[in-house]
Amino acid sequence: MGGSESERESFNRCPQRHFVSNPSCLSSKVWLRLHRGHVTVKDIVEALCSVGQLRYYREDPIFDAYACFDTAAGRLTAVTTDEFARAAATANRRTAGTADGIERSDGPGVTVFTGTTRETSTRFPRRIYFQITRNCNLRCPYCFLKSRPGLPHVPAEAVLPMAAFLGHSGLMEVRLTGGEPTTHPDFFAILDEFRARDVYVSVATNGLLSQQVLDGLAERQNLWLICSVDGNRETHNRYRPDLFDRIMGNLRYLKQKSPAIRLRLTAVLTRRNKDQIRDLAEIARAVDAESVTVIPLRPQVRDPSVKDEMVTAAEFRRVLEAMVEASEQLGVRMTTTLATDFESRIHPDPIVRKRGACAAGREATNLDYDVGRGTFLVYGCSYSPAPDLDSPAAIRRPFLAGEFPADRPEELLRVWRDDAAWAIYRDNSFKSADCQQCGYYTRLQCVGSCPIQNVDYESIDVDADVVEQLRTQLSQTAEWYCYKRLAECGGS
């Protein structure tokens, strides 16, 4: 919440009375409801979120030495030393109860996080992909989590204390995902708890939303909705039968009810939709989405036959060219996981920097839950074997950074600081020999070979040293969609 110290104290004593006395703190919509006597706690949360807060961070230069995160806009911006110093002078109240190694100071509308910086990772995750449920109302063939109807939700009593700890410790963004996160019975309670803790919320959804969920989303401020759309009507309906028109209707309804909601479309890139980039951009314009993200299909899928639909490096290069063209001609931001020579013309991630390595395990992490054991699971990438509870333990272990009881959320920080647990992501010796010598990698234009997709898991001997087998494989394998091959158009 912004405002002077006296305004903050007024709010802490009695939020409703504070807003009656300070109507400028409220959106016109909330003020009208308050004036009519209909104010609720949710209205107050909306007022706080509409104001937003600036959070400043000091990190190792590889992650930006000084940066400012706007909790209302959901964007991180590098700032100068002087700008950081001015913010620190304003945030002159040290906050008690901050996790060990993280120093937090607060001031009017400003929070500053300092402490010991790290070269291998940010001090605390910037983004967490929170799998709040394994349940899903669809069974997509390329789902890497193999979600389906009837799978369990993470109990709200485990999520809410975690949200409080994450917000207090400096988390910038939580991406509520699953499964289909909106099927969680306490979805809005979870969403609102994160927002009340000054954490920016994005929601990854398949767009198959009930009217109740649509109206609930439309009522909330500063949300980022990320919806899967896998090409034109024919292609999307092939992967998600007969749902294209319904999803388009849902997205139009949301934008009509809440024009300010951020909307991004995400497409899994396959050989079936590789020539539909302009179609995707036109769909984005039709539903007033701000951007389209294209994610190349990975081998970790529900239906093994889908792997045959992966594009080649040369095909992906043509996709990049089509993305740049569509962006320039139609004014739609286009993003992807790889950008190579097109980096300056592809819209960057608003939070993670991905300099010298993927953000997984360095700037971001996944937070999952084992319902049977009542423990949180922490792993870098959801494409890895870590979230597959049916995968052999010896295969999962190198990709699973750690776990901890649901009633001890502070244990997440212990896991995050354990470099050995994140070796596959943080130890650059796992990068292939080709990558180590490549100019794209040394110039930080490329994150290097992927430790997830470039592994033949079926060939691993689970009775031998799995980590060394992984190291051997990765040292000999370049990125599937290799930058160098993209630049040379030599992929096949």
Query: In 3D, which of 112, 95, 238, 171 has the Cα closest to residue 413?
Result: 171
Residue 296 has pLDDT above 80, yes or no: yes
* Rounded-to-integer distance, Cα 467 and Cα 189, Å: 40
pLDDT band at residue 33, thresholds of 50, 70 and 90? Answer: very low
- Predicted TM-score (pTM) of the model is 0.88
Question: Can you give the pLDDT at residue 314?
Answer: 83
Q: Are strands 223-228 and 262-269 parallel, antiparallel or unpaired?
A: parallel
pLDDT band at residue 198, thresholds of 50, 70 and 90? Answer: very high
Neighbours of 461 (CB within 10 A): 9
Residue 11 has pLDDT above 60, yes or no: no
Residue 321 has pLDDT above 80, yes or no: yes
Residue 39 has pLDDT above 60, yes or no: no
- Rg over alpha carbons for the chain, rounded to the nearest Å, is 22
pLDDT per residue as tens digits for the range 85-117: 999 999 988 876 666 778 999 999 999 999 989
CA-CA-CA-CA dihedral for 412, 414, 417, 421, to nearest 10: -90
**What percent of the chain is predicted at pLDDT more than 70?**
85
Packed helices 244-257 and 277-286: angle between N→C axes, nearest 10 degrees: 40
pLDDT band at residue 436, thresholds of 50, 70 and 90? Answer: confident
In this structure, CATH architecture of domain 127-345 = Alpha-Beta Barrel (3.20)
Question: Can you give the pLDDT at residue 98?
Answer: 64
Question: Can you give the pLDDT at residue 276?
Answer: 98
pLDDT band at residue 129, thresholds of 50, 70 and 90? Answer: very high
Check: CB of residue 449 under 8 Å from CB of residue 424.
no
Residue 214 has pLDDT above 90, yes or no: yes
pLDDT per residue as tens digits for the range 467-487: 999 888 887 766 666 767 766
Question: Which range among 192-206, 211-225, 342-356 shows the weakest confidence by mean pLDDT?
Answer: 342-356
* Rounded-to-integer distance, Cα 65 and Cα 1, Å: 25
Mean pLDDT computed over 33-38:
48
Domain boundaries, the chain: 5-51, 54-114, 127-345, 427-492
Residue 45 has pLDDT above 60, yes or no: no
Check: CB of residue 313 under 8 Å from CB of residue 485.
yes
Structure tokens at 369: 């839950």
Give me the chain's average pLDDT, please. Answer: 86
Using the 8-state DSSP alphabet, how is residue 304 labeled?
Answer: G
